Chain A
């Protein structure tokens, strides 16, 4: 049977392009006002509540969500434009990025009306930061080895155990956490995990300790739960059946522009450092990188457009993430090579070197976070019906 890989050549609609102009003008203003500085933005953790509130006021958080929850009911292609413009300039989106991409859609699907009315509008106003509590010391790629326990008590659950590598947990208001409600069964080792909404700021028994990364930043944490009480209505979806819940959101999550734009600043500065008339080697290097970038973007727009049109490009979405994260990971090494013969005192060489060093250091994480390259290739292989 032939494999079904299709990328409809989707272009962004005119309303999305109008929006782009608006987003660029907004970003220019914010830069001029000193809210953030694109030159140093890659080095910061991008956690900026003031910026988040301004983006919220523009209606650009949760913009595809229903209006009654604070959303704008705009298309995924419009959201695409906002996301890519923010990413390309390394705008400080950390407050709202996770909630906008992942957590909000989970709430829309599984939370009760009261919770939706309470939390979603706050997300869209840029007031509410989410984190994802999946990994544990003994459970990384193998999510189904998670052992942090949720024990049934009157009116809710007691959580005990430790989550690890939880990005932004020290800053976040909420976590979507994956906890064990039953042991796995003989037939199904994926059975027994349940997804919960955790109010980090208003729950006793939760403590967060930062973990320093090799860059010196401390963006992720260990989160300890000791008899932390979570009410029944904070269960997201069916008890014991979290494994069934990963659906089409996954394709959005895997195929977005954030999957290849993380180190874009290196390419931009490479073009600057090589100057207006690069030699053949430099020109060829830039040409190949731009061709690859353009193709990744066309793939990513295509997957988002197909999703918007009601198709299910699940395999294509995984492929975009695999190609994209590998590309953004390789980019610093290739830029370093292409700039090898540029005079150390030339123009922006010093700024380029700083960015390059930083990108080189963060490159390893790009094919680990959110599921490793090897796990992703296994998923693609399953999509090809090899396993």
Chain B
């Protein structure tokens, strides 16, 4: 579905325009004023957006998977610095295990393929998860844990966990969470969702946010280059600037296409099979590459002003750089995708690419 005719997207856009204008948020953040946060979060909660992926009977809004991804693309376009994506993901995960979602902010764990959390026979968790986005802002965490070789989903009270606080490159919370000894509020078996599935879904979520942010920095850069005058004309009139922005448009376009593709693929998939793996890996790799290239071009087009704390550009570019690393970097996914392609062999490459 295209964005224009989507009511969920319109609602989301309106909320962000009113309550999360990047310029306003940036100015507030410089003054260490986070008064904008509470009204934004309650507007998101009241409209059901935070639990978009949770069915009605589990306490959510029951929006479609595709709509949820579209919301995240809009959120990326506003460089949203609250745990909307993380809460959506947590709600999705809990729902797949039939667990009702509580109100309030949530996050998920583990978010790296080399972290594992286990559930012991005594009913307590063991293990830690590094780099968990917005852990300290969350009231609850949705955790994929191993219990006797099976994956289970656990709803955990965040206050019960030990946190080692950190910040992401974007300045957002990114904490290490130690679950050892924590007894979950609720545990349930899943319908085939394990920690790799959470990585797949998380990577797709970040791809959609990054696509939105790339589209935004393209627009910001185009506008700026039409206004900024040098050598007595708008810099947009210089061919070198035009060609750089054309390249930025290409990177944004690739991101939009890859993110849209993975969102549609997940929305219509029955299971997380190899086809979904290809879609997710391709999106996270290609969008991550676009984030690096695109951010560099946007900064170059802005000159010094884009390097200031006062300008909004960094709200996007720092998030782009940071989101690249979440749920597996380009390099992580590329190695795994490359291994899969190699194992299948040269003659299966084209059939695999054209499989859908």
The interface-forming segment of B22-30, B175-183, B188-196, B338-346 is B338-346
Known: A20-B354, A323-B250. A291 touches B286 (CB 8 A): yes
CB-based nearest B residue for A373: B243
Residue from B256, B337, B343, B356 within 8 A of A290 (CB atoms): B337
The winner among B215, B264, B265, B339 for most chain A CB atoms within 10 A is: B339
Mark contacts of A6-20 with chain B using CB atoms, 8 A cut-off: 1 yes-contact digit, 0 otherwise: 111101100000001
For B334, give its contact among A6, A20, A284, A378 (CB under 8 Å). A284
Q: How large is the interface on B (under 10, 10 to 19, 20 to 34, 35 or more residues)?
A: 35 or more
A298: Cβ under 8 A from any B Cβ: yes
Interface string of A272-307 (1 = CB under 8 A from B): 101111101011111110111111111100100000
Interface centre among B218, B250, B347 (most CB of A within 10 A): B250
A282 to B339, CA, bound (A): 9
* Interface range, A side: 35 or more
Interface of B, secondary structure class, is helix
The answer to whether A384 has its CB under 8 Å from any CB of chain B is yes
Task: Note all chain A residues with C-beta closer than 8 A to B257.
Answer: 7, 9, 295, 298-299, 302
Q: Please report the C-alpha to C-alpha distance between residue A3 and residue B335 in the assembled complex, in whole angstroms.
A: 34
Minimum CB–CB distance for A41 against chain B, Å: 14
A6-B354 contact in complex given A287-B341, A290-B337, A299-B254, C-beta closer than 8 Å = no
Given known pairs A291-B286, A298-B261, the reply for A384 and B245 (CB within 8 Å) is: yes
Write out the residue numbers on chain A whose beta carbons fall within 8 Å of the beta carbon of B3.
Answer: 6
Tell whether, in the assembled complex, residue A380 and residue B250 are in contact, meaning their CB atoms are under 8 Å apart.
yes
Contact of A278 among B249, B283, B338 (CB under 8 A): B338
When the two chains form their complex, are residues B353 and A6 in contact, meaning their CB atoms are under 8 A apart?
A: no
Chain A residue numbers with a CB within 8 Å of B239 are 378
Mark the stretch among A67-75, A149-157, A262-270 that contacts chain B.
A262-270
Closest to B330 in A: A288
Cα of A2 to Cα of B17 in the assembled complex, Å = 14
Is A268 a contact of B346 with CB atoms below 8 Å?
Answer: yes
Instruction: Report whether A319 and B250 are in contact in the complex, using a CB–CB cutoff of 8 Å.
Output: yes
Give the chain B neighbours of A271 by CB distance below 8 A.
Answer: 341-342, 345-346, 349
Contact A291 B281 (CB under 8 A): yes
Q: Are B253 and A299 closer than 8 Å at their CB atoms?
A: yes
**A380 in complex: contacting residue of B226, B246, B260, CB < 8 Å:** B246
Q: How far is the CB of A333 from chain B (nearest CB, A)?
A: 17
Residues in B with CB closer than 8 Å to A2 are: 215, 219
Contacts of B333 in A (CB 8 A): 287, 291
B162: interface (CB < 8 Å):
no
A387 at the A/B interface (Cβ < 8 Å)?
A: yes
The minimal Cβ–Cβ distance linking B214 to chain A, given in whole angstroms, is 10
**Are the CB atoms of B215 and A294 closer together than 8 Å?**
no
A56 to B112, CA, bound (A): 53
Say yes or no: is A361 at the interface (Cβ < 8 Å to chain B): no
Q: Is the CB of B282 within 8 A of A294?
A: yes
Q: Given A295-B254, A295-B258, do A288 and B342 touch, yes or no (CB 8 Å)?
A: no
User: Who on chain A is nearest to B241 by CB?
Assistant: A386
Pick from B260, B265, B282: contact of A7, CB under 8 Å: B260
- Is B256 within 8 A of A295, CB to CB? no
Q: Is residue B252 within 8 Å, beta carbon to beta carbon, of the partner chain? A: yes
A381:B349 contact, CB within 8 angstroms: no
Cβ of A316 and Cβ of B253 under 8 Å apart? yes
Contact status B243-A381, CB under 8 Å? yes
Q: How many Å from the CB of A278 to the closest CB on chain B?
A: 5
Q: Check B157 for interface membership: any CB of A closer than 8 A.
A: no
Query: CB of A50 within 8 A of chain B?
Result: no
B231 contacts A by Cβ under 8 Å: no
CA gap between A382 and B247 in the complex, in Å: 13
Q: How far is the CA of A2 from the CA of B4 in the complex (A)?
A: 13
Min CB distance, B218 to chain A, in Å?
6
Instruction: Report A-chain residues with C-beta under 8 Å of the C-beta of B225.
Output: 386
Beyond A287-B285, A287-B336, A298-B258, whether A377 also contacts B356 by CB under 8 A is: no
Is A350 located at the chain interface by the 8 A CB criterion? no
Contacts of B349 in A (CB 8 A): 267-268, 271, 290
Instruction: Report the Cα distance A323→B215, complex, angstroms.
Output: 17
How many contacting A-B pairs (Cβ < 8 A)?
A: 186
B342 & A286 in contact (Cβ 8 Å cutoff): yes
Query: Does any Cβ of A come within 8 Å of B90's Cβ?
Result: no
Interchain CB contact under 8 A, A291 and B285? yes
A5 at the interface (CB under 8 A from B): yes
Q: A322 contacts the other chain (Cβ, under 8 Å)?
A: yes
With a cutoff of 8 Å between Cβ atoms, the chain B residues found around residue A297 in the complex are: 353-354
Of residues B258, B264, B342, which shows the largest number of chain A Cβ atoms within 10 Å of its Cβ? B342
Complex: A295 Cα to B258 Cα, angstroms: 6
Asked whether B237 is an interface residue with its Cβ less than 8 Å from the other chain, the reply is yes
B289 close to chain A: CB less than 8 A? yes
Partner of A11, one of B236, B281, B283, B356: B356
What is the distance, in angstroms, from B163's C-beta to the closest C-beta of chain A? 33
Question: B44: CB under 8 A from chain A?
Answer: no
Contact B350 A268 (CB under 8 A): yes
User: Do residues B342 and A284 form an inter-chain contact, with CB atoms below 8 A?
Assistant: no
Q: Which residue of B lies closest to A306 (CB)?
A: B2
Report if A118 contacts B (CB, 8 A).
Answer: no
B219 to chain A: which residues have CB within 8 Å?
Answer: 2-3
Tell me, rounded to whole Å, the shortest Cβ–Cβ distance linking B329 to chain A: 11
Task: Judge whether A385 is part of the interface by a CB distance below 8 angstroms.
Answer: yes
Closest Cβ neighbor of B279 among chain A residues? A294
Residues A386 and B226 in contact in the complex (CB < 8 Å), given A9-B261, A374-B243: yes
Candidates A7, A286, A384; contact of B256 at CB < 8 Å: A7
Q: Would A381 and B246 count as touching, CB distance under 8 A?
A: yes
A284 touching B335, Cβ below 8 Å: yes
A268 to B342, CA, bound (A): 10
Instruction: List the A residue with the shortest CB-CB distance to B352.
Output: A290
A119, CB-defined interface residue at 8 Å: no
Q: Are B236's CB and A387's CB within 8 A? A: yes
**Pairwise interchain contact B256-A287, C-beta atoms closer than 8 A:** no
**Among B249, B282, B283, B331, contact of A319 (Cβ-Cβ < 8 Å):** B249
8 A–B pairs (Cβ distance < 8 Å), ordered by A: A3-B215, A5-B215, A9-B260, A88-B354, A274-B342, A288-B338, A294-B278, A381-B246
Given contacts A9-B263, A282-B342, A291-B281, 20 further A-B contacts (CB under 8 A): A2-B219, A5-B253, A6-B256, A11-B356, A88-B350, A283-B334, A284-B335, A287-B281, A287-B335, A287-B337, A287-B338, A295-B258, A295-B282, A299-B257, A322-B246, A378-B246, A380-B249, A381-B246, A384-B246, A386-B225
Residues of A that sit less than 8 Å from B by CB? 2-3, 5-9, 11-12, 20, 84, 88, 264, 267-269, 271-272, 274-278, 280, 282-288, 290-299, 302, 315-316, 319-320, 322-323, 374, 377-378, 380-381, 383-387
Q: What 9 pairs between A and B have smallest CB-CB spacing?
A: A287-B334, A287-B338, A283-B338, A9-B264, A381-B242, A286-B338, A287-B337, A291-B285, A7-B257
